[in-house]
Chains A and B, each alone.
Chain A
Amino acid sequence: MECVFGLVGEGFAVVVADTSAVHSILVHKSNEDKIMVLDSHKLIAASGEPGDRVQFTEYIQKNVALYQFRNGIPLTTAAAANFTRGELATALRKNPYSVNILLAGYDKETGPSLYYIDYIATLHKVDKGAFGYGSYFSLSTMDRHYHSRMSVEEAIDLVDKCIIEIRSRLVVAPPNFVIKIVDKDGAREYAWRETVKDADVASA
């Protein structure tokens, strides 16, 4: 029931992911951050097999860093997306990664962009995208309300509409979400949307 979705606005891209780590009927934790900061101006929101998700995204992150040290300049978002897709494709017919990715980035020359990369190495550059059962609701809501060059306020409003839709219509809806944004000033956490807070451990 992992929900990941994102959209591109005026000079920024925003991605949202649920934060529950689930194993069959048990919720391990409800504050698992599934959106990794790939480098200063890129975000990877990933959903799928928990082990694969972390291993694969960390592998991509370190290779993106290596490219930067070797060449003195960072990868563009498109290059990073194509590299990621290539790694998924290479592994596909041997030991595939079960990870779905939304890669959001900001490049000085081309502005914000969002890439849809699914577990069988499909790559699409999109304005809005979503994965998981939540996508039935978030994609429909975004299709209804999205327009190009939305402001941050409008975009977050749309994100909240999607979260409300998921919470009310998905049978096992995740309680908490994290929202991250990337723009010319870099990639950073924007907000959390929580309905369940992990209780603080009582001090001895």
Chain B
Amino acid sequence: MARYDRAITVFSPDGHLFQVEYALEAVRKGNAAVGVRGTDTIVLGVEKKSTAKLQDSRSVRKIVNLDDHIALACAGLKADARVLVNRARIECQSHRLTVEDPVTVEYITRYIAGLQQKYTQSGGVRPFGLSTLIIGFDPYSGAPSLYQTDPSGTFSAWKANATGRNSNSIREFLEKNYKETSGQETVKLAIRALLEVVESGGKNIEVAVMTREHGLRQLEEAEIDAIVAEIDAEKAATEAAKKAPPKDT
């Protein structure tokens, strides 16, 4: 049977896999995506580049669900994402069929990361140009999880993370401001983080919230606008408080 036998991703003399690094570059150019894990809520937020006037924005969903209790957002090549998401969805159902149990977040993350790694070590293929943020609740313990994978196929669990454009700034913000949150506070933290690099407004970000009971819920533009307004008000209040004290002296 005819098969490609020439590998495209090969080592450089100083131990780099350039194709993987170039893939990471593609991720760095992709839309910003942020994930925050709370005690009972996990939030994913993605930057939405201004939608073309004639485009039906509902057909461009950046945050997808893989199963009833697992969701994924990504940064990078969206076409590659479609392929990866499809394989993951099949694996979620296949797992349910063979062992009569829903997948754990770690299992499906391991699967996606394994797939990404396979494409760095196979003939005739290039790596997937995307990093994913995977969220979900463990089907039995109910513990919330957030994982990140990248084109090299590595994955790890996070309390909060960002990927894509300006992810370093967002991560810095999260490192400074992260604390254990729940419910709406988790949503606010995620949106605040995303607003560090994205133009303020509900039409520039897509946010989805996952809870144990209700699964994944995409927030409406109006809801996001309301939370953004809340955040802006809080920022203005802290600014005003900073300027006020000097009068006491």
Contact of A59 among B66, B67, B90, B97 (CB under 8 A): B97
CB-based contact A63/B93 at 8 Å: yes
Determine how close the nearest CB of chain A comes to the CB of B225; give it in whole angstroms: 24
Q: Does B110 contact A (CB under 8 A)?
A: no
Q: Does A66 contact B (CB under 8 A)?
A: yes
Q: Is B212 part of the contact surface with A, judged by Cβ < 8 Å?
A: no
Which B-chain residue is minimally distant from A64 (CB atoms)? B93
Size category of the B interface is 10 to 19
Instruction: Assess the B86–A65 pair: CB atoms within 8 A.
Output: no
CA distance A118 to B169 in the complex (A): 61
Residues of A within 8 A of B67 (CB): 69
B214 CB, min distance to chain A CBs, angstroms: 15
At the interface, yes or no: A70 with Cβ under 8 Å from chain B? yes
> What 0/1 readout, one digit per residue, does chain B (147-179) give for beta carbons within 8 Å of chain A?
000000000000000000000000000000000
A29 contacts partner chain B, Cβ-Cβ < 8 Å: no
At the interface, yes or no: A62 with Cβ under 8 Å from chain B? Answer: yes
Quick check: A69 and B97 within 8 Å, CB to CB? no
Q: Is the CB of A58 within 8 A of B89?
A: no
For the complex, give the distance between the alpha carbons of A58 and B89 in Å.
Answer: 16
Within 8 A of B (CB), among A44-84: 58-59, 62-63, 65-66, 69-70, 72
Q: Which residues of A contact B92 (CB under 8 A)?
A: 69
Contact residues in A for B66 (Cβ distance below 8 Å): 69
CB-CB < 8 A to A70: which residues of B? Answer: 86, 89
A26 CA / B92 CA spacing, docked (Å): 37
Q: Are B97 and A58 in contact (CB under 8 A)?
A: yes
Task: Quote the shortest CB–CB distance from B97 to chain A (angstroms).
Answer: 5
Pick from B61, B65, B94: contact of A62, CB under 8 Å: B94
- Cα distance A58–B94 when bound, in Å? 10
Which residues of A are found within 8 Å of B93, using beta-carbon distances? 62-63, 65-66, 69
Q: List 17 A-B contacts (CB under 8 A).
A: A58-B97, A62-B93, A62-B96, A62-B97, A65-B93, A65-B96, A66-B89, A66-B90, A66-B93, A69-B65, A69-B66, A69-B67, A69-B89, A69-B92, A70-B86, A70-B89, A72-B61
Give residues in A with beta carbon < 8 Å to B.
Answer: 58-59, 62-63, 65-66, 69-70, 72
